[in-house]
Amino acid sequence: MLLRQKKFAEAREVYQGLLGETNILVANERLRFGVLLTYLGEHKEGHAQEVLQGITFPTETPAYYYAQAAWAFAHDKKSEAQDWIDKARQVFDPDAPLWFAHHLYHFGWIKNKPPLPKKHD
């Protein structure tokens, strides 16, 4: 919610606090992606670049692909960003990228609101 409200410093504080409390890889990847977005939102290039480099390939989630896409969008490289999104869709289960896509949507970088993930039995 803080990220959507563009309270980037507050959101980053929450994400970083949670990063110190979990060793679950999937959660860690999402939290690092969130930290990246806070720096991109504040246009803090150096910090954003540092976090981006910390989201290394391969990842258990589409974090790497969506981090690359976020960086490209933030630098007005829409075609490159879309290529990263398309790659994530090819590699991961169709629902896996949706959590990441929602964040790009809230930043205004993608225009169509992603659907909610389907519930699995």
- The whole-model pTM stands at 0.88
* Residue 24: pLDDT band with limits 50, 70, 90: confident
pLDDT digits (tens, 9 = 90+) for 62-88: 999 999 999 999 999 999 999 999 999
Checking if the pLDDT of 120 tops 80, the result is: no
Q: Contacts from 43-51 at CB under 8 Å and sequence distance 24+?
A: 48/74
Task: Tell me the C-alpha distance between 100 and 90, whole Å.
Answer: 15
- Residue 84 and residue 66 in contact, taking contact as beta carbons nearer than 8 Å: yes
Quickly tell me which residue has 């929602």 as its tokens: 102
Query: Which is more confident, 117 or 55?
Result: 55
Query: Which is more confident, 22 or 41?
Result: 41
